[in-house]
Every structure is written in C-alpha cells, then in structure tokens.
Structure 1
Amino acid sequence: MNVLKFGGTSVGSAENINKVISVLDKYAKEDRLICVVSAVGGITDRLLKAGNFAQAKNENYISEFDAIKQIHSSILLELIPSKNEVILKQLEAKLQLLRSLLDGIFLINELSPKTSDKLVSFGELLSSYIITETMKSRGMEALRKNSQELIVTNSNFTKADVVYEQTNTNIKTYFEQATQRITIMPGFISKSLTGEITTLGRGGSDFTAAIAAAALKVNRLEIWTDVSGMFTANPKLVKQAYPIESLSYQEAMELSHFGAKVLYPPTVQPVLKLNIPIHIKNTQHPEAAGTTISNDAGKSTSPVKGISNINNVALLTLQGNGMVGIPGFSKRLFETLAQERINVIFITQASSEHSICFGIDDKDGVLAKAAIDFTFENEISLNKIDPIIMESQLSIIALVGDRMKSHQGISGKMFSTLGKNNINIRAIAQGASERNISAVIAEKDVKKALNTLHERFFETETKQLNVFITGVGNVGQKLVAQIAQQKSYLKEHLKTRMKVVGLSNSRTMVFDETGLDLKNWKDQLANGETASLEGFLDRAKDFNLRNSIFVDVTANDAIPKLYPAYLKQNIAVVACNKIACSSDFENYRELKDLSRKYNAPYLFETNVGAGLPVIDTLNNLIASGDRITSIQAVLSGSLNFVFNHFDDSTKFHDVVKQAQKEGYTEPDPRIDLSGVDVARKILILARESGTKMNLEDIENDAFLTKNNLESDSVDAFYETLIEDEAHFQKLYASAKANDSQLKYVAEFNEGKAKVGLKEIPRGHPFYNLEGKDNIVMFYSLRYPEQPMIIKGAGAGADVTASGLFADIIRAGNR
C-alpha cells in the first residue's frame, strides 16, 4: 500500500483535480492506496476570514460564505456535469452546516480555538467529498474515510498532539478490513479523546499522510504539490534555484522548519524511525523526479543542500550586567514565553552571559516584551538588567546540510558573502552538529541574501551582475551593444551573467528585474516612465539586487551628487563622468571612503584616456610600493585630433566642427578646447598618485583667445573661431617654423600641475602622436629615466564604451 497526499494547489481547480485523479488511477492499478487531500487552495484562509468577520459582527462573512459555496459548486459541476442532483444536494447540506456555524459565531460574537478548528475542518471535508464522488461517478473503486474517525488527539486546539497508540490501532484496524482500492482521507482534521473536532496545525495534511503511512508501515509516502520537489532555495525569489534530488530526514526537517513550505515539519517524525521514504512530486509534472527524503540522502557536490528563510521575525534581547554569573535567568525567560504560548524559533547567547537573544514570530513581539518586562520588573527597577529590546521586520536565513560539519569554512563563506553585499547580520546561531547555520537579517535584504548565497554555494561557475545605465547617447548605445554582443562570451569564459536591469536617458527610464531585452531596448525606453535621477536611484534601491552596478555615461553635473547614495546601498559606481573625481578634494575623498566602507567599487578608468588602462596601471604602481615623481601626457583625444588635422590649408573652425561631428569632443567643444577637460584629467591622475589637489591649483595656459573664451553659447563660440582664424594660423606657423608639432600637454611634477599648448620637437615621444591618440608617461622611483608609457586611442564612442565595460567586469569581481 502507498500513501499519496495532494496539497491545496493540486486540488485547487477542476482541471487540477482531474490530474490528481489520473495519478490515482495509474497507481491504483498497481496497489491499494490512500489519498490524503487538503482543502481547495485558499479555502482555509477564506474560512478564517469569514469567521473573523462573523466574530466582529461584520456581515461580510455572508459574502465570504457565498464565495466558498460558489467555488465548490463550480468545481463539482465541472467535474460531474450530469446526473449530479443527489451529490449537489449533499454538498448543499454540508455547506448549510457551515453557514449555520458562521451564523452562530456572528450571534455570540466569539471565535474560540475550539470553534476555529470546527470551522476550518470544512475545507478538507468538502474537497475530499467532491473528489471521492467524482471518482465514483467515473467507475473508480474509491471510498472516503473521515480522518476524524481515525486520528485521535489531545484538546490542544489549532495544533493538537496526536495520541499515537489509539490512532495507530484505529488506522490498522480499519484498513485490515477495508477492501476498496482507493481510500480518500481529508487531511489536517482529527478528533480529541473527548470527541471534539481538532486540527493538526496549518499544513497538517502532510502530517495526516505521514501518520497513516507510519501506522501501516507502507513502502513510500508521496507528497504531491505544485513544485517539483524541495528546491535549493525559494524559486519565487531565486530564479536559478533547482530541485534537490535527495535529502536526509534531518535536512528536510531543517529546511521545512525554516520556511520551505513544500513540507510540513512534523511530517518527517512518524516515518523517520521506520525509514519510510518521502517523495515530493509535482501534480503538474508527474514525470519530474522530485525530491526523495530518506536515511540514505546520497552524495552531493556541495555540503550545503539548501538555503531557506523565515520572514516576519522579531528579535528580542535580554541583557544587563546583573545577568553575569547568576543562574536562573534563562529558565525564567523561557518559562515566561512558554506560559504565553510563544514559540521561540531562534536562540543565541554570548559566552559572557551578558545577553540572551532570541527570535519569535513578529505578531507575538509586543506580548512577549510586555510579559518579559513584567517577569523581570524587579531586576529592571534595580538596573541589573535593561528593559527587553525588541527589533522587528527581520528574517532568518539558514544554510542546511548534513555534511557541512566535515567541510571547513562554510560559515566563513556565508558571512563573508553577505558582508561583501552589505547585508548586515543582526544575530547568528549554529549548533554543534553544524547542520544548520542561521543568521538574522533585515527582511528587505532577504531576496538579495538568498540570491547571493545561492550563487556562492550552488552556482560557483557563474556570477550575475545587475547593471543600471543612465545615459544612452553615443557612448551609452555602444556600451549596451557590447554587453549584448558579449553575453555568450562572458558566460562561457568569465563565468559571468550580465543583465541590464535599468536604462535611462534625459526623458524616460525603464526597468526589468529579470533583465531588459537588449534587442529592442530603444522601444522599451521610448515607452518607459518619466525619467528622474532620484527615481532611478530609488528603483535600484528597491530592487536590492546582488552585485548591482550603476553606470553613469553622462556629463550631467547633478548625477555625481547621487554617487554617495548609490555607494551606501552597496551599489558599485562606474563613471565616465569626470565631474565627481575632479570636484572638491573632500568630495573625491568621501567617495573613495564610501567605496571602501560599503565594499562598493567606485571605478572611473574612462575619466582619463577613454579605454586606455591609465588609472589601473597607476593604481598598480602605487599598490606595489612605487611612487610617482612626474607625469607627462597628451590626454585629449579631441585636441590631438584637432591639431593633427589643422594646418595652413585648413580652417580651425572646420577641423573643430569635424571633431565634434565624429564624436571626439563634448557636445560643447569649449570644454575640450579651453583645457578644462585636460586639467580635470591630470587632476585625477595627481590625486590617484596621492597628492591633495583641486582644479584651481592647476595652471591652465589657454591657447584660445579672450573672444573665444567669453562666448556665451556654442554657436557664438564657432563664430569666434572664424573671426580669430589668424590667431590659430599663427600658432601653426610658429610650430612649423620650429620643426615641431602642436600638442596640448598635461604635466604633473612633484605636487604641481599645469596644462597648455606646446610645440613638441621632432624625436620627442609626443611628436608622432596621430589621430585621436593619447599618451601618458609615468616617471617614478622605479622608472626614473625611461618612463612607463601608455599609448593608444583616447577618444571615440567604441573605446570609451569598452573602458566602461572593463570597469563593470572589474566591479563585478570585487
């Protein structure tokens, strides 16, 4: 004989019940079986809601009753569309008993635990009746046996304790005489020794099945639900979670205690000693292997079998110097909680005995605090201990696995992984068995924590980066294209999944937590919501995704003001925007400090040299103990382009126009030609070299005329270039006469910096610098005479995007 249990979702509709009946029909051909069924999905909650309405003298209980009646009647009519008059009448009679009970609750204005058990028992009684009658109408050999006639409990209403001796006798006696192939039993419900209706606790249908399986010593117990087994984590929160092939009884109990709703925790106990395997199966996909729970859990590549969580936790702390070395505090504390029937789900105590910390259901928090403060009223008044401290809106996350004890460093990996993602741990508990390592965190961080830990322990081959990009102009578009193009390469070679989850331009923004479709992102963005800098930040905070990276591909001076807010949320910042790094030194230092404090990289390689590894090389020199003595550089690809194309046969105005058209200058070319952009770049290199400096400390020898510099618009600026053509031709003529090239040079030497146009003689490393190329020469203690030289394209959308791409990868490897 086999025992199968089907949950509320499995019997939640006529379509699903037909699937259940198909499974039962197949099994019944091989052996006799018991089928335990839950209430139709959602009905237990509706029954309780109706009862609460009735108790509160709210006539909405009638509407809830009508909805319950409609749901069951509709399912029955769909399952048995004809010759159903007698069955419908019997169903109506059962529903009328429910209505009478609700009316009674309304009249007496009371819903006791005893009455509540009677009320919720209707769910399983109704579903089991409908399923049995449907099977009989189809010629199947099925009979319903009311579990209340078999399972005997004490009178602990809402979660009664089973009297096993009498229960086992009842079950064995009945099934020794029963001849039907299929026996339908309502789960969850039972009767006390005094004949009163009781229940086994929410989720108790699993328990009913386990009780029957153990009493009859069957070959297997199957729990049929809406998922294909117990998963490595909650699949609703962790998309990469997958079914666990096998678990030990102890592992299954740990996971179910910590929020894995697939299995009701007490289910394991009756079958454990008899080593009756439990199989978790999926009604929607009966062919799926599911999860097997037994003493032989099999081997796993990871010592961690699963990650689970409990939400709605309150953390209470009893502490005070008067507790140290004084026996009895723990006894009084937990006796107080027991008297109030408050279940403790988490305990930890420091070896100093200065404090005891414990977790309970959030709904019991206020009651627990009041009761404990009353118990220790005398000690509190004498300042021996503090009033109980209560924190709410917390969750417990737990790693579970039998073999964790034999593997060193599991807890270290867990806590370091959470720490790197800025998930604060409020309390820790780990037994000597090391089968469960638990931590209390903020409830808002649960999804992030589960995904982070799942990636660490179950997806060691891959890492997911969640990218938010603001600014999708020329460079931004190239960046998105590169991410889309390199998706397969990243996954195969770098074991990285990169998702763009947010995009914004100056008008609209769009988000998708699962990743935007990069094939039609422009259409999505065009139809997005109105753009807002603070709104973009808020959405990134609300998503609270692991390995989040904010990418600023703008020249907007307002966005860098939000960098601190991103970093404080453990969101890495990658920027080609130079404003933040070249702003006041204290602001620059604050960003660096926040990056370290919140373990959120702040990277800005493209601030200097676009895609060239200038800052990275400089940082490596400093980190290895070298000291920069001097920097000489041509840092403006746009200016280099301009002066490489300008001669006595061209007009300066036309060359600048061409540079802007090809994307080598900022939209406002005055930023490039005034030398401000180059000054910012040498300032950043000076700061990265360890020098405290501000932009006003840099000497800027401008080559533009006063007329150029005082222009009040871009158009006016271009007009002045035409007017002052003779000035630029004079600059060119002087360089030509001296057999030199015009280069806009940045210099840093022993704490001082300057930028300006220079005539570079033949033979100098800068002389043959072509096109939009940049060059940087680092002189240091290790490179005193022959500098370290970095040279290459220093402007252009593609190379700038590639520099941003590299920073994103670098940030993801934190």
Structure 2
Amino acid sequence: MKVLKFGGSSVANSEKIKQVLSIIAKTSEEQKVAVIVSAFGKTTDKLLAGANEALEDITAAKEILELIKELHFRVIDDLIIKNKKEVTEEITYLFDRLISIYEGIFLLQELSNKTLAKVSSFGERLSSYIIAKAAKETLDATHKESRDLIITNDEYLNAQVNFEVTNKNIAIFFHDNQHKITVLGGFISSNTAEETTTLGRGGSDFSAAIYAAALNADELQIWTDVSGMFTANPRIVKQAYPIAEISYEEAMELSHFGAKVLYPPTIQPALRKEIPIRIKNTFDPENFGTLISNDPENGNEVKGISHIEDISLITLEGGGMIGIPGFSKRLFEALSVAKINVVFITQASSEHSICVGVYDADAEKAKTILDETFSIEIYRKKIKPIIVENDLAIIAVVGESMKNYQGLSGQMFSALGRNNVNVRAIAQGSSEKNISAVINKYDAKKALNTLHEQFFEERTKQLNLFVTGVGNVGERFLAQLHQQKKFLIENLKLNIRVIGISNSRKMVFDDAGINLENWKDLLENGEPTSLDNFYIKVKEANHRNSVFVDNTANQAVSEVYEKYLKDSISVVTCNKIACASSFYNYKKLKEVSKKYNASFLFETNVGAGLPIIDTLKNLVNSGDRIHKIQAVLSGSLNFVFNNFDQSSTFHNVVAQAQKEGYTEPDPKIDLSGVDVARKILILARESSFKMELEDIKKNAFLPEEALNTTNNDDFYAALTKHENHFQDIFKQANDKDCRLKYVAEFVDGKANVGLQHIPADHPFYNLEGSDNIVLFFTDRYPENPLIIKGAGAGADVTASGIFADIIRIANK
C-alpha cells in the first residue's frame, strides 16, 4: 500500500485536481492507496481571516465565506456529474455550519482555540469530501473522516497524537475497507470527547506520515508543486536542483532549517518504521523527485543548504557564569515555560556566554522573561543584561557524509568571508551533519548563492559586474564580454553577468543579468544616475563575487573605490587617477582591499592590455629589486610622433589619434606628459618606492599657451598657431637621424618624463604605431633588461586588459 499526500497548491482548482485524480488512478492500478489532501489553495487562511473578521463585522466575514464557497461549488460543477445533488447538499450543509459558527463568534465576541480549530478544520473536510466524490465518478474510491481515526489530547491548535489509539483505529478501518482508494483530510483530528483538534503547522504532512506508519506502507509520497527537495531554495538560488536521494536525518535537518517542502515532524513516524518518503511534483509526475530513505545512494558530501529568516540572537554573558552550574538550565527552563521555541544554540568553551536563536516574534518576550529570571545576577553585575540582536538569519550546510571530509567548515566560512558575509554565531553538532551560522538577514540571499556555488557549482563560478563608463573602452569591453560568454562558460567554467551599467546620465540594473545585445537601448531608457545612487543600487543588490568596473577617466569615480572595497566589492579600473593620487590614498586603497578581501586591479593603468604591472608584481614578490625602468608608456604620443613629419600638421595627427581612441577624452592630458607621469609613478610605487606625482620631473614640449587652455577647442587652436614650434622639434631630431619618443625613466628613486631623441641603435627606435615598451633593469636583469613590448593604447586592447583583470579575480 502507498500513502499519497497532496498539498494545497496541488488541489487549488479544478484543473489541478484533475491532474491529482490522474496520479491517483495510475498509482491505484497496482495497489491500494490512501490519499491525504489539504484544503483547496489558501482556504484555511481565508477561513481563519473570516473568523477574526467575525469578531468585528459579521457581514465582512460572510463575504469572505462566500468567496470560499464559490470556489468549492465551481470545483463541484467541473468535476462531479453522477452524484452532484448529494455532494451539493453536503457542502451546502457544511457552509451553513460555518455561517452559524461565525455568527456565534460575532454574538459571543469570543474566538477561542477550540473555535479556531473547528473553523480551520473545514478546509480539509470540504476538500477531502469533494475529491473523494470526484474520484468515485470513475474509480473505486471512498471518503473517510480523519477525525474518526486520529485521536489527540485537548490542545486544539497543536494537538499531540495518541498513537496507541490512533494506530489501532487506522488498522481496523483499513482492514475492513475494501475500496482501492480512500481519501482523507489531512491536518484534522479529534480528542476523546470527539471535539475537533488540529495537528498544527505542517499538519497535513504529519497526517500522511501517521497513516503511512500505522499501515506499514510501502512508500509515503508527498506531492507538491516542486520536483523534490532542492540543494537550496530555488526561488533564491536559481542554479539549485533537486536532490535525488537523501537520508531521513538529512531531510530533517534541511526541513528544520527552512526547506518548506517537508515539515520536520512528518519524518518521525515514517522514520521509526523506516518507510521511504518520496517528494514528487504534481505537475511533473514523471520526474523522479527526491527519495528519503535510511540508505540513500552516496552523492555530494554536502546534500543541501537551507536557511531560516526572521531570527533574533539572545546572548547571556558575564564573568559570573564561569564555573557556576545551573545557568543553562535556568535559561532553557524559562524559555520552555514561556513556550518560546529555541532554534539555535551555541556556548563559548569558557562558559562566559550562551547564545540562543529564537524567532523575531518571540525576542522581546524572551528578553523580558530572561531579564527577570536573572535579575539578581544582573543587579549584582555578575552578568550583563540580556543582549538581543534582531533581523538575523540562520544558514545551514547539511550532509551526512560531511564528517568524512576535511576542510568543509573552512570552505564554508572562507566563501562567506570573501563576500563580506559577517558570521555572528556558529554551531556544529558532534555528528557533523550540520554546520549552522547566524548572519544578517540582509545577507541571506548572497550567502545561499555563495555556498551553493562553493559546494554544488565548483566547476562554474559566477561573477556579477557593475560597469560605469560606456564610452570607447566601456563599449568594447561589453562587446568582448558578450562575444566570449559561451567560451568562458565552456572552457573556464566562468559565468560573468553584467548586473548594472551606468554612464554620466542614466543607469540600468537587472538582477538576472543585463542582455548585452541591447544594453544601449536599456540604458537609454534607464533611470537618472549619480555616483551615490549607483553605489546604493550595487550595495542593495548584494550579489556574491561582485566587481565594480570603472572605464572612465573621471576623478569623482576614482574617489568612490574605497566604499566599494569596504563592502568586499572588487574594483577593476583603467582610470589612473586613484593610483596616481597621493601616496597615502594609494596605500589606503591597497590596505582596504587586503582587509576586506576585495581585489583592486588596475593592470590597464600602464600599457593598456600589456602585462606590465602584473610582471612587475611578480618580480617584486619573488624577491627581485628594481634599479631602473625606461619606458615609452604613451601609446597616443608614440602614435603622434610616429605619424608626424614635414608632410603633416601636428594638429591633424593629434586629432587623428583622438578619433581613433588612442588619447584620453582630453588629449592635453597625454600631450602635457601628465598621463605618462602618472604611469611611471604607478610603476615606481609598485616597485615599493614611496613617491608623489610632484616628485616627477616633467620636460614639457607643448607651448605655454597650449598648456594653459581649458577646453579642447582652444587646445587645438593653440596647436595650429604653434605649428612651426612642432616642425622645429621634428627637424632637430631628424637632422640627427633620430626619432622622437616621449620617454619615462625611473632610476634610483627618481623619475622624469620628456621628449627624447632616440638613435637607431636604441630599443625604442623601431617602436611603431601606438606600441608601448618597458625595460626593467633589476638584480636578475642588470644589463640585459626584461622587455615588455606591444600595443599600449586603443579601446580594444584596453578593454581586453580590463577583461583580463576580471578573469584574474575569477581565478583568485
């Protein structure tokens, strides 16, 4: 025999009940079945709402009841033909009883637990009767009242089952019952005085388990609207998937910590009899679902991750507790007497403190009771007043095989730490089947996704990007991301999503990832932006593995890096301003990055996509010392002087360089030498030298008039006016058979930048186009320097450098 339980979502309307009937029919072909059903949809909630409304307004209560009645009669019209008159009369009688109860509530102005139990029982009484009659239309089915079989004590709303009497009743009834299908209402029961009682939250599941255990069923099937127990809540973790097999203990742990597919007490009767429980999807009946048994097939060492929200942490602490017995007893006894459920316990080994987790709704009551219980110790300052922290959540990693694997706790807390999820308390049972942590409720979604990725998606890592600046570099960066998405997933097991995009006017966000095929249209129709608003949106999104990407050359943007890093949001930037600001700010950003475990990468600050900074870091980290750096670090200036001669004008060559994306939006930054000075400053600092921008000697070649302009139009006009000046510069180099290169040098702690005449035998002489070149002279490379050479400017190569930094973070 099998016991099938169908929840409210499975019997919400006629169409869904038809699917339930087809499942029952198929199952009953081979054996007898007991079918336990919940109330239709949210009927029980509506019945209780009507009862509470009846205290104040009987008319409003009857209106609620009328809506419930309409649903039930609609189901009767759709599903019942042969016995419609009989069914209609019975259901009408039940609703008349409900109206009488509501009127009694209104007249007496009293709503006791006894009455609440009676009112709430009608949902299952109605649904089980209608479904039984619908099944009888085509199948060998009958209906039986659960109140006749399940006997409890007198706690009307959360009754305790008398299993001795109940099991005997069930055994006798089913022994005499010859029908293949028996439909019973879940949740409801009665006491020895034949008064209606209910089994509390999750009572329909519990009813099903009671029947399964009493009947020694071959299997208990819980039919719901999902395909089993998932590795995590699929509404929060989109990558979660059903667990094929799981043990009773694992299922209990997961259900205790919020897996709503199953209610924890459900497992107990079935566990005692070792009856397999299968979670199935009513709307995908062919899906295997989840099998809960005593001996599941081994799978992942971690079976699932679950969580409970709306938790408060209550802490009892003080030096007066040390070595004094009885504190724990008094604490738990006081909470027990007050009927406050404790969902989490941890105690310091020093006996200095005990922490317990309770639901937020019980927190204030718990504090009042415990402050009173320990009032003498608090008055004598032996312990502190009770400490309460609200708005927390408990996250639990569950798996029976976890005890056989080393380092799982380390993986869990390292993953949370990398994503700035602060752990307030930890508990781990001696059986090592569950590691629980109390965290801020705000971080629950991020924590679940982080841990799911750690334990179930180790082959695919997700990065969530927030991109500001979509000019030349930003646009190419997004295009490269879009182009490489499939490659990254298939070859690097890396899923990079762009969650937010911003320019100087608008911003757009999508938690599921922005479609990079039409991001321009989405951004154009986005909301107004500011640096603060964009940061707030990023913080509110609270995604794991978050990265802020700055594709601008804007100083104001560079000034917000610290805020992102302090929230453990990595920063990738081609903007040189931050790293070339004061040495104090540069060091602080580095320190904050390290402290909050957030990467701060700026490879593209020097050499665009060339691995200059990365190579320098490797030299320094491996113990080499930098003596001298010589470099052509401006792709734009190299492009300009490689294309400028007597047949061209300096103005036109600079304009061409800007048009092709080799210069900054303000080309004077490049031509004044400020950009190159920033780059050599960054290399000096990365070589472990303390230096400020003003320490760098700049040998300017621009006329004063051009240097003093405040906009591009005036700058270009000054270039035209002083064309002879630039032609003279070219002639002087040409007469010496030299080429003009803007060179940056760092030697023994001093740096300078300026235009130089480069002879034919110099490594810089044949540097073409917009290429950069860097020569590192070190302890290991004293005479023949380490040379890095290649394209050092342009939107595509800069974007690829940003891309490379993103991948470095992914590989961290």
What is aligned with 1:620?
Answer: 618
How far 1:57 moved relative to its partner? 6.0
What is aligned with 2:703?
Answer: 705
Q: Which one-letter code corresponds to 1:496 in the other structure?
A: L
Per-residue displacement from partner, 1:127-163 (whole Å, max 9, x unpaired)? Answer: 2122122223x33222211111100111223221110
Among 539, 552, 555, the residue aligned to 2:553: 555
Distance 1:528 1:623, change over 3 A: same
Supply the distance in 2 between the matched residues of 1:455 and 1:586 (Cα, whole angstroms): 37
How far 1:249 moved relative to its partner? 0.9
What is aligned with 2:25?
Answer: 25
Counterparts of 1:472-621 in structure 2, within 5 Å, are: 472-621=470-619
What is aligned with 2:79?
Answer: 79
Q: Which one-letter code corresponds to 1:307 in the other structure?
A: I
Counterparts of 1:243-282 in structure 2, within 5 Å, are: 243-282=242-281
- Is the Cα contact below 8 Å between 2:672 and 2:707 reproduced in 1? yes
Per-residue displacement from partner, 1:753-796 (whole Å, max 9, x unpaired)? Answer: 22111111221111111100011112222222222111110001
Per-residue displacement from partner, 1:398-445 (whole Å, max 9, x unpaired)? Answer: 111111111111111111111111111111111111011111111111
Counterparts of 1:191-340 in structure 2, within 5 Å, are: 191-300=190-299, 302-340=300-338
How far 1:489 moved relative to its partner? 1.8
How far 1:237 moved relative to its partner? 0.9
SS in 2 for 1:631: strand
Distance 1:216 1:81, change over 3 A: closer
SS in 1 for 2:98: helix
Per-residue displacement from partner, 1:105-128 (whole Å, max 9, x unpaired)? Answer: 344444333322222112211221
- Is the Cα contact below 8 Å between 1:776 and 1:790 reproduced in 2? yes
What is aligned with 2:129?
Answer: 129
- Is the Cα contact below 8 Å between 2:473 and 2:796 reproduced in 1? yes
Per-residue displacement from partner, 1:191-249 (whole Å, max 9, x unpaired)? Answer: 12332221112111111011011111111111101111111111111111111111111
SS in 2 for 1:273: helix
Per-residue displacement from partner, 1:289-340 (whole Å, max 9, x unpaired)? Answer: 011111111111x211111111111110000111000011111111100100
Supply the distance in 1 between the matched residues of 2:346 and 2:384 (Cα, whole angstroms): 18
SS in 1 for 2:593: helix
Supply the distance in 2 between the matched residues of 1:225 and 1:582 (Cα, whole angstroms): 60
- Is the Cα contact below 8 Å between 1:304 and 1:403 reproduced in 2? yes
Counterparts of 1:313-462 in structure 2, within 5 Å, are: 313-462=311-460
Supply the distance in 2 between the matched residues of 1:243 and 1:350 (Cα, whole angstroms): 36
Q: Which one-letter code corresponds to 2:32 in the other structure?
A: R
What is aligned with 1:112?
Answer: 112
Distance 1:748 1:67, change over 3 A: farther
Aligned length: 812
SS in 1 for 2:310: strand
- Is the Cα contact below 8 Å between 2:141 and 2:182 reproduced in 1? yes
What is aligned with 1:163?
Answer: 162
How far 1:516 moved relative to its partner? 1.8
The more displaced of 389-398 and 534-543 is 534-543
Distance 1:75 1:694, change over 3 A: farther
Q: What stretches of structure 1 of length at least 5 have no aligned partner?
A: none
What is aligned with 1:16?
Answer: 16
- Is the Cα contact below 8 Å between 1:699 and 1:754 reproduced in 2? yes
Supply the distance in 2 between the matched residues of 1:119 and 1:598 (Cα, whole angstroms): 55
Supply the distance in 2 between the matched residues of 1:765 and 1:646 (Cα, whole angstroms): 20
What is aligned with 1:802?
Answer: 800
The more displaced of 270-279 and 182-191 is 270-279
Supply the distance in 1 between the matched residues of 2:70 and 2:565 (Cα, whole angstroms): 53
- Is the Cα contact below 8 Å between 1:308 and 1:398 reproduced in 2? yes
Supply the distance in 2 between the matched residues of 1:497 and 1:515 (Cα, whole angstroms): 11
Counterparts of 1:632-781 in structure 2, within 5 Å, are: 632-781=630-779
Supply the distance in 2 between the matched residues of 1:45 and 1:469 (Cα, whole angstroms): 45
Supply the distance in 1 between the matched residues of 2:775 and 2:114 (Cα, whole angstroms): 84
SS in 1 for 2:68: helix
Supply the distance in 1 between the matched residues of 2:720 and 2:599 (Cα, whole angstroms): 45
1:64 aligns with 2:73: no
How far 1:468 moved relative to its partner? 1.4
Supply the distance in 2 between the matched residues of 1:698 and 1:244 (Cα, whole angstroms): 62
SS in 2 for 1:426: strand
What is aligned with 2:145?
Answer: 146
RMSD, aligned α-carbons: 1.6
What is aligned with 2:95?
Answer: 95
Supply the distance in 2 between the matched residues of 1:680 and 1:808 (Cα, whole angstroms): 23
Q: Which one-letter code corresponds to 1:171 in the other structure?
A: I
TM-score by length of 1: 0.97
SS in 1 for 2:734: helix
Distance 1:16 1:738, change over 3 A: same
Supply the distance in 2 between the matched residues of 1:82 and 1:644 (Cα, whole angstroms): 95
Per-residue displacement from partner, 1:79-129 (whole Å, max 9, x unpaired)? Answer: 348974543343233223223323333444443333222221122112212
The more displaced of 140-149 and 223-232 is 140-149
- Is the Cα contact below 8 Å between 2:632 and 2:741 reproduced in 1? yes
Distance 1:328 1:118, change over 3 A: same
- Is the Cα contact below 8 Å between 2:58 and 2:103 reproduced in 1? no
Q: Which one-letter code corresponds to 1:162 in the other structure?
A: V
Supply the distance in 1 between the matched residues of 2:620 and 2:230 (Cα, whole angstroms): 47
Counterparts of 1:462-473 in structure 2, within 5 Å, are: 462-473=460-471
SS in 1 for 2:324: coil
How far 1:60 moved relative to its partner? 4.6
SS in 2 for 1:609: coil
The more displaced of 10-19 and 749-758 is 749-758
Distance 1:368 1:790, change over 3 A: same
Q: Which one-letter code corresponds to 2:98 in the other structure?
A: L
Supply the distance in 1 between the matched residues of 2:58 and 2:416 (Cα, whole angstroms): 47
Q: Which one-letter code corresponds to 1:74 in the other structure?
A: R
SS in 1 for 2:495: strand
Distance 1:539 1:72, change over 3 A: farther
How far 1:678 moved relative to its partner? 1.0
TM-score by length of 2: 0.97
- Is the Cα contact below 8 Å between 1:57 and 1:109 reproduced in 2? no
- Is the Cα contact below 8 Å between 2:257 and 2:308 reproduced in 1? yes
- Is the Cα contact below 8 Å between 1:427 and 1:439 reproduced in 2? yes
Q: Which one-letter code corresponds to 2:28 in the other structure?
A: A
SS in 1 for 2:773: strand
Per-residue displacement from partner, 1:644-699 (whole Å, max 9, x unpaired)? Answer: 00011111011011111111111221111111111111111122122222222222
Supply the distance in 2 between the matched residues of 1:103 and 1:750 (Cα, whole angstroms): 95
Supply the distance in 2 between the matched residues of 1:365 and 1:484 (Cα, whole angstroms): 49
Q: Which one-letter code corresponds to 2:284 in the other structure?
A: H
- Is the Cα contact below 8 Å between 1:637 and 1:773 reproduced in 2? yes
- Is the Cα contact below 8 Å between 2:228 and 2:242 reproduced in 1? yes
Q: What stretches of structure 2 of length at least 5 have no aligned partner?
A: none
SS in 1 for 2:597: coil
SS in 1 for 2:273: coil
How far 1:609 moved relative to its partner? 0.6
